[in-house]
């Protein structure tokens, strides 16, 4: 088909089902961040629902406009229907901004207004860092094996997008199972419902009805009103000035924004694996610009291309689903309906949609990579399990303190660490793996994939890059630091040196002939491993 004359329709039948999945993802994030800001950081409702939520909606609208235009461009260039990239508030980075930037300011000053100002200042500066990812994003995408990029996304999907919502379902089984039933039938089993009603809509609606019957939902219109988006330039400048007066906050800000532009790169690769190709550099600039626009209008939280494009493409979506989400989120934000929806829709009713997104991403990855690269995907998942454990261990300690237990040691206390080790809980190792899990998973997935392909120099290069990042604290550390050669850094250097040097002296037959491992399927290509490139 001639791409110059291709007519791309923004709306398709599949957009209706995809809308409910992406809307749920965005809605849950907005409910979480508004709840934490209001009830943990004691921000008044006029800041939460009058500034932060409308600002987030403005950021989402700005990004959706660009990604809709990008989808039209991609469809015309490729001469086929494409699915627009999903977009919204970055879930992992949102938590870092909440508890790594906004929270420490509030706890130190007890000033929620200052905490919000610093948050939007950090959001604006972070958007600049994210946009700068476009300078290296295309190069990273070119040299990084798909298994590494998709594998680290599978880790996020498995532990945070899949298992946490699944736990919500089992905590409220009457609501959750009712909703899950329709997701299994309509989105995973792909059977039609009467009247071809979107399964996501039926799932959320049925779960909400059950919640109303059980008295677990409420109709609360107290927050409904008009909250127009307004730029907060003066407040943002005050926040930026505070950041430069306290530069240690940049030690949190810079690494997490590096994670964010790498997350964008990985999700663009996921879309390409599903059949839709987009320019990664432009996507990273868009995410950074969206974050900066959101910060100017009151939202501290970075935006990104979302996980889940393969799921939406399977549903046959075009761009209408993202446009619909932007319109509904904007209406809910500007008219104050977010607080109403927070009381009406229980998390357990929306959770099955997120489980579907996680399952779909993992399934698509299995089809998108070579069978022998599933070892690399599996390796890339592992750091995220450590990240999950650290989050839950921290929550456990906080819950014990909140319940009145006194004299508790902090996580990291030498005695507690030793006791955990005696019980088989390797705290220090999981802590190291959890710091920068997105990058760590990508790097180890790339190393494993390159070794399998016999690309030893590339594998060694990733190991050396990991050593550099580890030495300055981008990975395996809470904050950035002056270069230091600890055990992990030296370990990466040993791996890199071996992968680079040994193939130069190893017998040729040892590099060309694979070993058959008993009781393991032989998934290797028939062709010998290439002599390194």
Query: Do 197 and 264 fall within a single domain?
Result: yes
DSSP per-residue codes, 5-55: G----S--THHHHHHHHHHHHHHHHHHHHHHHHHHTS---HHHIIIIIHHH
Q: Is residue 513 part of a domain?
A: no
Query: Do 345 and 429 fall within a single domain?
Result: no
Query: Do 344 and 425 fall within a single domain?
Result: no
Query: Do 295 and 421 fall within a single domain?
Result: no
Q: 72 with 318: CB under 8 angstroms? A: no
Q: Tell me which H or E stretch contains 450.
A: helix 437-452
Q: Is residue 6 part of a domain?
A: no
Query: Do 305 and 191 fall within a single domain?
Result: yes
Query: Do 355 and 456 fall within a single domain?
Result: no
Overall domain count for the chain: 2
Q: Could you give the CA distance from residue 24 to residue 199 in angstroms, rounded to a whole number?
A: 13
Q: Could you give the CA distance from residue 269 to residue 277 in angstroms, rounded to a whole number?
A: 8
Query: Do 320 and 383 fall within a single domain?
Result: no
Query: Do 297 and 359 fall within a single domain?
Result: yes
Q: Is residue 105 part of a domain?
A: yes
- The closest of 513, 124, 44, 79 to 290, measured between CA atoms, is 124
Range of the domain at 194: 13-369
Query: Do 315 and 393 fall within a single domain?
Result: no
Q: Is residue 509 part of a domain?
A: no
Q: Is residue 530 part of a domain?
A: no
Dihedral of alpha carbons 8, 13, 17, 19, sign:
positive
Query: Do 361 and 440 fall within a single domain?
Result: no
Q: What is the largest CA-CA distance in the chain?
A: 76
Dihedral of alpha carbons 5, 10, 15, 20, sign:
positive
Per-residue pLDDT 10s for the chain (533 aa) are 444 567 888 888 889 888 988 887 788 788 878 877 887 788 998 899 899 999 999 999 999 999 999 999 999 888 888 999 999 988 767 876 887 788 878 888 889 999 999 999 999 998 998 888 778 777 877 788 888 878 887 888 888 778 888 999 999 999 999 999 999 998 888 888 887 787 888 888 999 999 999 998 888 777 788 889 999 999 999 999 998 888 767 766 776 677 677 778 888 888 888 889 999 889 989 999 999 999 999 999 989 888 778 888 988 899 999 999 999 999 999 998 887 887 788 888 888 888 887 888 788 788 878 888 999 999 999 999 998 898 889 888 888 888 888 888 888 888 998 998 998 899 999 999 988 887 899 899 999 999 999 999 999 999 999 999 999 888 898 777 888 889 999 999 999 999 999 999 988 888 887 776 666 666 665 444 444 44
Under DSSP, the state recorded for 371 is: G
How far is the CA of 306 from the CAs of 29, 60, 85, 90, 287, in angstroms? 12, 12, 7, 7, 10
Q: 143 with 458: CB under 8 angstroms? A: yes
Q: Which two tokens stand for residue 142?
A: 């070119």
pTM: 0.72
């Amino acid at each position: 088909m001639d791409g110059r004359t291709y007519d791309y329709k923004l709306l398709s039948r599949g957009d209706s089902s995809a809308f409910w999945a992406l809307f749920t993802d965005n809605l849950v994030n907005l409910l979480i961040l508004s709840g934490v800001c209001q009830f943990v950081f004691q921000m008044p409702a006029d800041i939460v629902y009058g500034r932060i939520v409308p600002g987030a909606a403005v950021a989402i609208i700005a990004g959706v406009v660009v990604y809709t235009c990008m989808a039209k461009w991609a469809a015309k260039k490729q001469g086929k229907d494409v699915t627009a990239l999903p977009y919204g508030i970055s879930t992992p980075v949102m938590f870092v901004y909440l508890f790594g930037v906004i929270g420490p300011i509030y706890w130190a000053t007890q000033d929620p207004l200052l905490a919000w100002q610093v948050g939007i200042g950090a959001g604006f500066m972070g958007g600049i860092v994210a946009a700068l990812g476009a300078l290296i994003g295309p190069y990273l995408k070119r040299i990084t094996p798909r298994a590494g990029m998709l594998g680290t996304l599978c880790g996020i999907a498995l532990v945070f997008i899949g298992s946490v919502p699944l736990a919500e379902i089992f905590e409220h089984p009457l609501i959750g199972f009712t909703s899950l039933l329709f997701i299994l039938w309509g989105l995973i089993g792909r059977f039609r419902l009467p009247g071809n009603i979107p399964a996501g809509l039926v799932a959320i609606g049925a779960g909400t009805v059950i919640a109303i019957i059980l008295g677990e939902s409420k109709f609360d219109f107290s927050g409904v009103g008009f909250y127009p988006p307004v730029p907060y330039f003066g407040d943002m400048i005050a926040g930026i000035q505070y950041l430069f007066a306290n530069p240690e906050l940049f030690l949190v800000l810079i690494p997490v924004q590096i994670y964010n532009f790498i997350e964008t790169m990985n999700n663009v690769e996921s879309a390409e694996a599903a059949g839709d190709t987009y320019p990664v550099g432009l996507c990273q600039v868009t995410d950074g610009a969206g974050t900066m626009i959101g910060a100017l209008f009151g939202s501290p939280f970075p935006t990104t291309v979302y996980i889940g494009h393969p799921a939406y493409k399977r549903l046959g979506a075009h761009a209408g689903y993202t446009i619909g989400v932007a319109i509904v989120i904007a209406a809910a934000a500007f008219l104050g309906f977010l607080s109403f929806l927070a009381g009406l829709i229980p998390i357990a009713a929306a959770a099955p949609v997120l489980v579907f997104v996680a399952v779909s991403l993992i399934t698509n990855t299995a089809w998108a990579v070579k069978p022998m690269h599933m070892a690399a995907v599996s390796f890339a998942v592992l750091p995220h399990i450590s990240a999950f454990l650290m989050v839950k261990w921290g929550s456990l300690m906080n819950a014990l303190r909140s319940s009145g237990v006194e004299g508790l040691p902090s996580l990291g206390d030498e005695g507690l660490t030793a006791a955990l080790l005696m019980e088989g809980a390797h705290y220090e190792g999981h802590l190291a793996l959890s710091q920068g899990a997105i990058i760590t998973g990508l790097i180890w997935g790339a190393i494993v994939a390159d070794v399998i392909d016999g690309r030893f120099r590339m594998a060694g290069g990733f190991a050396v890059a990991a050593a550099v990042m580890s030495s300055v604290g981008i990975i395996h550390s809470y904050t950035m630091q002056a270069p230091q050669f600890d055990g992990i850094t030296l370990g990466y250097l040993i791996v890199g040196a071996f992968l680079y040097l040994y193939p130069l002296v190893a017998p040729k037959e040892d590099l060309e002939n694979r070993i058959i491992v008993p009781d393991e399927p032989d998934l290797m290509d028939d062709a010998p491993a290439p002599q390194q490139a």
